[in-house]
Amino acid sequence: MSQDQLGPVDLDAVPVLEHRGCLKINEAADSLVGVRVLVLGSGAREHAICLAFAADPAVTALVCAPGNAGTAAVAEQRGVDPLDGDAVVALAQDVAADLVVVGPEAPLVAGVADAVRAAGIACFGPSGAAAQLEGSKAFAKDVMAAAGVPTAAARVCTTPAEVAAALDEFGAPYVVKDDGLAAGKGVVVTSDRDAALAHAAGCGRVVVEEYLDGPEVSLFCVTDGAAVLPLVPAQDFKRVGDGDSGPNTGGMGAYAPLDWLPAGFVDDIVATVAQPTIDEMRRRGTPFTGLLYIGLAVTSRGPRVVEFNARFGDPETQVVLALLETPLSQLLGWSAGIAPQPTLAWRAGAAVTVVRAAAGYPGTPRSGDVITGAEQDGVIHAGTRRRDDGAIVSAGGRVLSITATGPTLAAARDNAYALAATVDLPGGHQRADIARRAVEGAITV
């Protein structure tokens, strides 16, 4: 059911199947109403999630902690340490949250979702044990092997000698991944063997992989621990510069959908990757609920998994949620066990987001620059804060995700760059080629 179909709801007039505080389920519509939501995080992903909840007629209260200057426009802001499970639980209880949505990966790996659920509050996001699918690349490889998931051949290395041997085994281009969390910047892909060795030396335990050719795809799969609901696939841009040049970043832009994918691609990935992984996690006694992010390379030998993440990806979330018509509370509530499984509906057209980064990013970013044009529709905030004088200033590396939709990918791209031209961040930079090759029909598989 679309948001327009759902419409405003009189909470006192609906039949009630289940009640948790003020949370109710509309028996006639088979959907949640009266939902109080706490979103944990402060990035563009969380602003995009908050925007979706703010447009959701079932959501009656929305809190974001700690949030940013953008989330403050649509949600109550509260201060909290996202890694402190006890503090998050106390905040959730204080705001009478029916659903807590953990945005970033670090709190998930730290077990914050476990603490929230232990307090009897529904939570979207995996347990700390299940979040090791992102927290340890070696663990993820082990799960993939057990589940029969197609992925790159890899070696887990803890010494310089092991790294050197693995680099020689796989050859250039060399792929070296920090085993732990690295905010999207723990991966080096290079033809320079010395650079690969140096990256490994700075990481400790690493995973060295064979290089996977072909275009990459990000596929989000929401799950309740058993069933899997795939969202529309997207493509992000990890390198800082045009033409995929320069170092890796957390992501410099994204677009959706991917019209160049073959028919049946998503169903095939659910059958060969997502469902076997969810089944294997359940078999291990660590069921995975929340969102399984599947990063794929569509190689000459078929799709191969590049990585798993345990949460919504950023910047892909900005374009995927821009196209999602199903109310977000119904989708995430189903995963968290408080709503029936929804049928997903999508808006026609396409979405593009262009990341505006601060001077110095992906190195040490400059902060405190005054941003103009940041309060327009479609300007999604990440590293921003509002000064006491009311000015919005930069406060992070990736500062804004400038997002637009359109009836076609070309139109969405034009709209995104037109909007970006009205936003000023002194010293800021962005890529000029987000979605360009897809619009030109240059991507083939």
CATH of the domain at 164: 3.30.1490.20
**What's the confidence (pLDDT) of residue 3?**
32
58-114 tens-digit pLDDT? 999 999 999 999 999 999 999 999 999 999 999 999 999 999 999 999 999 999 999
**Looking at 75, 109, 125, which one is the last position of a domain?**
125
DSSP string of 61-118, one letter each residue:
EEEEEE--TTGGGTSEE----TT-HHHHHHHHHHTT-SEEEE-SHHHHHTTHHHHHHH
Same domain as 160, residue 51: no
Asked whether residue 247 is domain-assigned, the answer is: no
Asked whether residue 119 is domain-assigned, the answer is: yes
Q: How far apart are CA 229 and CA 224, in angstroms?
A: 9
Asked whether residue 227 is domain-assigned, the answer is: no
Report the CATH number at residue 430: 3.90.600.10
Report pTM. Answer: 0.90
What is the DSSP secondary structure assignment for residue 11, as one 8-state letter? T
Asked whether residue 160 is domain-assigned, the answer is: yes
Q: Render each residue's pLDDT in the chain as its tens digit; 445 residues.
A: 333 322 333 323 322 333 344 566 665 556 788 999 999 999 999 999 999 999 999 999 999 999 999 999 999 999 999 999 999 999 999 999 999 999 999 999 999 999 999 999 999 999 999 999 999 988 999 999 999 999 998 889 999 999 999 999 999 999 998 887 766 557 888 999 999 999 999 887 898 999 999 999 999 999 999 999 999 999 999 999 999 999 989 999 999 999 999 999 999 999 999 999 999 999 999 999 999 999 999 999 999 999 999 999 999 999 999 999 999 999 999 999 999 999 999 999 999 999 999 999 999 999 999 999 999 999 999 999 999 999 999 999 999 999 999 999 999 999 999 999 999 999 999 999 999 999 999 999 9
Same domain as 443, residue 378: yes
**What's the confidence (pLDDT) of residue 205?**
85
Same domain as 426, residue 375: yes
Q: Are 94 and 20 in contact (CB under 8 A)?
A: no
Asked whether residue 141 is domain-assigned, the answer is: no
Estimate the crossing angle of helix 44-54 against helix 328-335, to 10 degrees: 110
To which H or E segment does residue 31 belong?
strand 31-33
The token duo for 179 is 């085993």
**What's the confidence (pLDDT) of residue 2?**
34
Same domain as 108, residue 16: yes
Same domain as 440, residue 354: yes
Domain count, the chain: 3
Report the CATH number at residue 11: 3.40.50.20
Same domain as 9, residue 92: yes
Same domain as 439, residue 369: yes
Asked whether residue 273 is domain-assigned, the answer is: no
**What's the confidence (pLDDT) of residue 147?**
98
Asked whether residue 93 is domain-assigned, the answer is: yes
Q: How far apart are CA 387 and CA 40, in angstroms?
A: 22
Q: How far apart are CA 201 and CA 164, in angstroms?
A: 11
Q: How far apart are CA 126 and CA 223, in angstroms?
A: 10
Same domain as 186, residue 109: no
The token duo for 253 is 């832009």
Same domain as 117, residue 17: yes
List the domain range (segments joined by +) for residue 432: 348-445
Same domain as 159, residue 55: no
Asked whether residue 272 is domain-assigned, the answer is: no
CA 69 to chain centre: 20
* Cα atoms in the 13 Å half-sphere on the side-chain side of 81: 6
